[in-house]
Structure 1
Amino acid sequence: MMDEIDWVDIAPRAPHRYTVIWMHGLGADGHDFESIVPELGLPDGLGIRYCFPNAPVRPVTINGGMAMRAWYDIMDMSLERQVDKAGIAESSASILELIDREIAGGVSSENILLAGFSQGGVIALDAGLKCPHRLAGILALSCYLPTWPEIVPALSKANRSLPILMAHGLFDNVVARESGRAAFEALTSIGYSVVWKEYPMAHSVCLDEVGDIADFIRQCFHIGGHV
């Protein structure tokens, strides 16, 4: 799978100790969240590498079959939306291979955090919950979990106590708040430690949220600062 995925890389100036793998949303690419790195205000000396993978280009049904970067196909926009679960599994497998690559490069799995926005958040959740290696945490922004409850048998024992932050806009008209909240409630109902945050925004990222993201990364990597 790794020969089918590439990524935008922001290497640390200090020795590489931590990795954030951050997946973009539908129709975007690996550059989409590149600009958030300086906004997080995390010192270069921490040694955090940011990896922004590019989703493959594929036809997307809700966009008239137009080919664009997408982690999976979407058939409709309802709350119970039909999605390409095979595509989700394939994209998750690519991210799991990327995690293995980081581990092979000398980074502890417990120093690897998965993040994603919208479709990318779905992949962060799906891959992170199934990953056989203990990770640092999952950051799931403006997303939901369409593979629930099918994912339950594949949940990794290594990550049952994994910190998870789910954040959503109150006025999101792309991924309904109710869909995100349902994922949060499903995970907490079986014992996952999930923090849910809401912001007065649409399908986007706001300044207050960026601060909470930075705090979450610090907490997951045990590097001090606010939590």
Structure 2
Amino acid sequence: MTEPVVIYPSGNHTATFIFLHGLDDVGKTWFDDFNYFKLPKSLPYMKFVFPTAPIMKISKNNGEEMTSWFDVHGFDQNAKEDQQSIERASQFLNSFVEAETKHGIPVERIFIGGFSMGGAVALYTVLTSSDAFGGVISLSTWLPLQTTFPKALIAGEKKKAIPILHCHGNKDSIIHINRARLSEECFKSMGFQKYTFKEYDGMDHTDCEQVSHLSYKMKCVRDKVKRLL
């Protein structure tokens, strides 16, 4: 397993943000993006952790091996989902949360999030973990295993005030905006009071070619975290 890349706080460490990348990517990509948009400088008390997913065979890509948090059969809302590997990815994310709590950071000061399938793991984890995190920030993503909710929701009343920021482009050619909107409906139907869905006009799934959109999303991330800590 590749070691995560970490941005350590420049001040007193009182909060942590764990962020997961998308399919066929590595943690270093988002380490660079967060540094480029100077989020660590504006949040000097926060440690940023960017894990890299293990390499696995991806069904959608004819068994090609790549970094991935879980197996993927397709990205549309009717595609088969691999519950076992999604749950395993969620457990992996929770292991990083546990490591931070062992170092004295309370779970209500720990944020989780990610891009695309990394964001999917974060959204699934906030619903199925017993912990009430400080917040969730998920970009260009969806809630996996959506039909298992609300039954699969753990400690719902305790967690319905958790702030969740979900950002998505309405021209996303990989994760269609309608799938994101279905996730929005699911969170709202379960009574999550601080779930916010932001839709970006004209934005596709990629960030690297759309710096202005990513810059705005990063500003939303920074402002959301600042308001909550």
| TM-score, normalised relative to structure 2 | 0.89
Alignment partner, residue 197 of structure 1? 198
Residues 103-114 of structure 1 mapped to structure 2, 5 A cutoff: 103-114=101-112
Alignment partner, residue 125 of structure 1? 123
Q: Deviations over 1:176-218 (max 9, x none)?
A: 0100110011110120121110113100342222211211121
Q: Is the 8 A contact 2:124 2:144 kept in 1?
A: no
Q: Is the 8 A contact 1:40 1:211 kept in 2?
A: no
What is the Cα deviation at residue 44 of structure 1?
5.8
Paired residue secondary structure (2:123): helix
What is the Cα deviation at residue 35 of structure 1?
1.9
What is the Cα deviation at residue 42 of structure 1?
4.9
| TM-score, normalised relative to structure 1 | 0.90
2:193 aligned with 1:214 = no
> Where does the alignment leave 5 or more consecutive residues of structure 2 unmatched?
208-212
Q: Is the 8 A contact 2:43 2:226 kept in 1?
A: no
Instruction: State how far apart, in whole Å, the 2-side matches of 1:23 and 1:31 are.
Output: 10
Paired residue secondary structure (1:35): helix
Which runs of at least 4 in structure 1 moved beyond 4 Å after TM superposition?
A: none
Instruction: State how far apart, in whole Å, the 2-side matches of 1:167 and 1:26 are.
Output: 18
Instruction: State how far apart, in whole Å, the 2-side matches of 1:78 and 1:33 are.
Output: 25
2:82 to 79, 84, 96: 84
More divergent stretch after superposition (177-186 vs 203-212): 203-212
Instruction: State how far apart, in whole Å, the 2-side matches of 1:176 and 1:182 are.
Output: 10
Q: Is the 8 A contact 1:20 1:50 kept in 2?
A: yes
More divergent stretch after superposition (68-77 vs 173-182): 68-77
Q: 1:45 to 1:203 in 2, by over 3 A?
A: closer
Q: 1:40 to 1:185 in 2, by over 3 A?
A: farther
> Where does the alignment leave 5 or more consecutive residues of structure 1 unmatched?
222-227
Paired residue secondary structure (1:175): coil
Q: Is the 8 A contact 2:42 2:222 kept in 1?
A: no
More divergent stretch after superposition (150-159 vs 190-199): 150-159
Alignment partner, residue 177 of structure 1? 177
Instruction: State how far apart, in whole Å, the 1-side matches of 2:176 and 2:189 are.
Output: 20
1:55 to 50, 53, 56: 53
More divergent stretch after superposition (135-144 vs 211-220): 211-220
May I ask how many residue pairs the two structures share in their alignment?
Answer: 218
Paired residue secondary structure (2:28): coil
